[in-house]
Chains A and B, each alone.
Chain A
Amino acid sequence: MTYRLGIDVGGTNTDAVILDKNDQPVAKIKVATTEDVTTGILNALDGVLKDSSVDPSEIKYAMLGTTHCTNAIVERKNLARVGIIRIGRPATLSIKPLISWPEDLVEAIGGYTHIVHGGHEYDGRELAPLDEEEVKRAVKDLKEKGVESVAISAVFSPVNNEHELRVAEIVREIMGDVPISLSHEIGSISLLERENAAILNAAVVKVAEIAVKSFENALKKKGIDAQLYITQNDGTLMSAEYALKYPVLTIASGPANSLRGGTFLSGLKNAVVVDVGGTTTDIGVLVNGFPRESSVAVEIGGVRTNFRMPDLISIGLGGGSIVEEVNGDVKVGPRSVGYRLEKEALVFGGNTLTTTDIAVSLGRIKLGDPSKVENLDKTLVEKAAGKIKTMVEEAIDRMKTSPEPVPVILVGGGSIIIPDELRGASEVIKPPHFEVANAIGAAIAQVSGEIDKVFSLEERSREDVLKEAKEIAVKEAIKAGADPNTVEIVDIDEVPLAYLPGNAIRIRVKAAGYLKI
């Protein structure tokens, strides 16, 4: 028997599941996330191994979803000193890199910047030739400054990546084996946002290394010799090796895992997924079984970026949200008792009225000591329940694309507070194992390949270009470890570039398939 292990490290809880080869959960657990993360992972491993009596040596695949990188950026901790090379002279000088960044974040990464001649025009012409001597001088300076990681961006690199690639070669020649983040591999059109994404990526390489190492060590300690994968924010997997190169793609992988877990557990490919945690609720949309991507710039730690991110709404409502009366009105959240729920909620003998108490009082769930909420004021309970319902309904409505009712899947430990009927929902599904949907989403995740490139339709037909793009995406997925027989195109996005001659079109194609086992 071979098993796979899924672990999702969240802000409050670390969840783990073991699935058998038929994707059936044989063990699941929720433990508190620890400051050092590793202890939490070890505790979770202990739990699932004990629960299932699975022989650790039979676990062949281990998938990790982690918030290490997000936390590092938000807390400005353990970030690498980054050297930044922008290729765009003589243009772009009026807005230098890092101008819009929060000061403390710039301080944390050092942020040594050079702008050199080069880059391209929208139609692929050179904006200016690459001046290799100038590049060498810049790289030598960065080396002297002791940078630990290098971010490279060039004007219109999504159209033509030659200059970014050549500068990367020069960096290797001079600095040796330093991590390099190329903007065209991470973000899309819009120089500042793409450059920001590359710089953030360069900043979290050390953190990613720590995360992967500590995961590896935890597994080793428990006698698990498995192939290691990390989940990324489109709900698919990357190899540990790839994750070390593109760690920024792990940001928002948690909600993506919940969405993927939701689709797996419910069998629905198109639905709204409501993931209720202790303090917040994330609402996302499944399109063909994958998270819908955000179409607008997303801010991370105060920095505007444009790499693909799941389209999410986050509201301040969770199982630990505090319910209080303010001037005759009932207020729910955003204040929360968070991980202290099992000490502070009324049903657990505490003194704080929480959304969980409301759920118990309404008889939606049996938890703790229900007698503690017997004497709650009925109007208060009803008002709070109404408020919770409206908050979720409005958020769901904002995520829909039309007034048609859609299926809603509830996942996450806190989803006990959500009623079985919601306006705008054709049905409300709370699948089995809903509380560990994120760990299951990690365990069953597929591997993907992607292409995002600007093509010219001057001499080729649209069909021809699309075919090429699809082939490249499929090839990338197989290269990443997908079983060729299961690879499917899961997303195609075409954007004609407006106001320009030459019929330029930007095409993004994603293919995904199951791990070749």
Chain B
Amino acid sequence: MRSLDKEDIENLAVGAAILGTGGGGDPYLGKLTAIQALDEGYEINVVDVKEVPDDALVIPSAGMGSPTVIVEKIPKGTEIINAFKTLSEYLGREVYATMPIEAGGLNSTFPLAVGAKMGIPIVDADGMGRAFPELQMTTFHINGVTVTPMALADERDNTVLLKTCDNYWAEWIARDITIRFGGTAWIALYPMTGKELKKAAIPGTMGLAEKLGAAVRETKESKGNPIDAVLDVSNGFELFKGKIVDVVRRTTGGFARGEIKIEGIDEYKGQNLLVHFQNENLVAIKDGEVIASVPDLITLLDLETAMPITTEAVKYGYRCFVIGIPCSEMWRTEKGLEVAGPKYFGYDVEYKPIEEIMGGMQ
């Protein structure tokens, strides 16, 4: 077990934005809830997956709903605690620890304050290793852990206990409850034992995010090369370096979809990269050839600051590095690719691990 201080939390937020692969929302608000919890004297403790006893109950926590509402109606902070109480009463067991369902974006940082205020640790792990838009897009799901029983709560102490026939129905019904609550719900979901956790979670992703953030923030101060540090920490690959020359956007089915065209500079001069996104960056094509695809991570980093560029903010004229980071092996199984492979997102692309593609090129 280790404790996080403010510096660790700042690092985590930057790293979570890198793992957000352009989407997933800003980890900023969750970071502030964690900092306030520390100011109020709470401790934020993190445990490794292997420290969790096999019979312990672990319940991940998250916010759900419209980002526009979350930035306006900031949580009270006790909503998830109510959800936990309801769920643990139903299960008749004490909760041992909580954890994020996604390592990237908005939901990566909220569980910190939840664990702190409940006096339980946060497991250094998640169910995506990145950010994805739907509740069932997790390694928990592909390993047979169910979203429900789950509990949803709002700031008025309304609490809903939900049990559904499968994970898709959980997503479907929970969305409606969220609307009644006023656009956001705070949820405790995917309850699992320590034994299930060890099989279904991606270990070490919180620590990875911290290291990524530290790499960017520290090398920037020492005027080193943050990109090298990021690639080193993440076992990632430099895919491209260039200038964004065009961004095409369209909104379909609630997703912001589009393509980013990048023209190579320096050693990439004369080459072109096309990045397809749906909230997150999903497929990268260099001069007509796919060089990385979901579920591997594709992130754009500002050339000067190495700070990640979101698909919302991306625009003509940005100079950036494009990096690729290998996803968890669990995503590379048949079931994993069925849930979150390029075909699920509508791309006629045969998934190939990024190491193989980059290895073949060198």
Binding site for B on A (CB under 8 A): 88, 90-96, 99-100, 119, 121-123, 125, 127-128, 155-156, 189-192, 296, 397-403, 497-501
Contacts and interface: CB of A to CB of B under 8 A. Distances in A.
Interface string B313-328: 1011111000000000
Interface in B52-90: 65-69, 71-78
Contacts of A403: 245, 316
A125 B154 CA distance: 15
Contacts of A192: 29, 32, 71, 74
Which 6 A-B pairs rank lowest in CB-CB distance, beginning with the nearest? A94-B77, A499-B66, A91-B155, A121-B182, A398-B317, A92-B74
Given A94-B77, A497-B66, A499-B66, A401 B315 contact: yes
B183 A122 contact: yes
Contact of A500 (B32, B68, B74, B156): B68
B73 A127 contact: yes
Nearest to B29: A95
Contacts of A93: 75-78
Given A191-B72, A192-B74, A121 B317 contact: no
A59 B57 CA distance: 78
Nearest to B33: A94
Given A94-B33, A96-B36, A99-B36, A156 B72 contact: yes
Contacts of A400: 316-317
Contact of B32 (A95, A123, A125): A95
B357 interface: no
Tell me if A's interface is mostly helix, strand, loop or mixed: loop
**By CB atoms of chain B within 10 A, which of A93, A95, A190, A497 has the most?**
A95
Contacts of B243: 397
Given A96-B36, A100-B32, A400-B317, A91 B74 contact: yes
A92 B254 CA distance: 27
A94 B113 contact: yes
Contacts of A96: 36
A154 to B, nearest CB: 10
27 contacts: A88-B74, A90-B156, A91-B73, A91-B74, A92-B74, A92-B76, A93-B75, A93-B76, A94-B33, A95-B33, A95-B36, A96-B36, A119-B73, A122-B73, A155-B74, A189-B72, A190-B72, A398-B317, A398-B319, A401-B316, A401-B317, A403-B245, A498-B254, A499-B183, A500-B66, A500-B68, A500-B183
Contacts of B318: 398
Interface in B102-161: 113, 155-157
B183 A121 contact: yes
A189 B68 contact: yes
Contacts of A94: 33, 36, 74-77, 113
Contacts of B73: 88, 91-92, 119, 121-122, 127, 155-156, 191
A498 B255 CA distance: 9
B227 interface: no
B97 to A, nearest CB: 20
Contacts of A122: 66, 68-69, 72-73, 182-183
A359 to B, nearest CB: 27
Contacts of A121: 73, 182-183
Contacts of A99: 32, 35-36, 39
Given A91-B74, A95-B29, A296 B68 contact: no
- Chain B interface size, as a band, is 35 or more
Nearest to B157: A90
B91 interface: no
Contacts of A119: 73
Contacts of B32: 95, 99-100, 192
A90 B155 contact: yes
Given A90-B157, A499-B183, 16 more contacts: A91-B75, A91-B76, A95-B32, A100-B32, A100-B35, A121-B73, A121-B183, A123-B182, A155-B73, A189-B72, A190-B71, A190-B72, A399-B317, A400-B317, A499-B67, A500-B183
A296 B77 contact: no
A494 B113 CA distance: 36
B4 interface: no
**By CB atoms of chain A within 10 A, which of B35, B68, B319 has the most?**
B68
B71 A189 contact: yes
Contacts of B71: 189-192
A86 to B, nearest CB: 10
Contact of A155 (B65, B66, B68, B72): B72
B183 A296 contact: no
Nearest to B110: A94
B179 interface: yes
Contacts of A401: 315-317
A392 B190 CA distance: 53
A451 B289 CA distance: 48
Interface string B158-172: 000000000000000
A119 B69 CA distance: 13
A90 B78 CA distance: 10
Contacts of A95: 29, 32-33, 36, 74
Contacts of A125: 182
Nearest to A194: B72
A99 B69 CA distance: 20
B62 to A, nearest CB: 14
B316 A498 contact: no
B14 to A, nearest CB: 15
Contacts of A399: 317
Nearest to A155: B73
Nearest to B175: A499
A403 B33 CA distance: 42
**By CB atoms of chain A within 10 A, which of B65, B72, B179 has the most?**
B72
A35 to B, nearest CB: 33
B118 to A, nearest CB: 13
B30 to A, nearest CB: 9
Nearest to A156: B72
B155 A499 contact: no
Interface in B305-339: 313, 315-319
A331 to B, nearest CB: 14
B99 to A, nearest CB: 18
Given A91-B155, A94-B77, A96-B36, A402 B72 contact: no
B237 to A, nearest CB: 26
B173 to A, nearest CB: 16
A500 B181 CA distance: 12
B182 A127 contact: yes
Given A88-B74, A99-B35, A499 B317 contact: no
A63 B71 CA distance: 38
Nearest to A296: B313
A92 B246 CA distance: 39
A361 to B, nearest CB: 30
A288 to B, nearest CB: 19
B24 to A, nearest CB: 14
A328 B69 CA distance: 54
Contacts of A123: 182
A383 B157 CA distance: 67
Nearest to A395: B317
Contacts of B183: 121-122, 499-500
Interface string B11-47: 0000000000000000001001101100100000000
A99 B28 CA distance: 12
B68 A498 contact: yes
Nearest to B31: A100
Contacts of B179: 500-501
A399 B155 CA distance: 42
B154 to A, nearest CB: 8
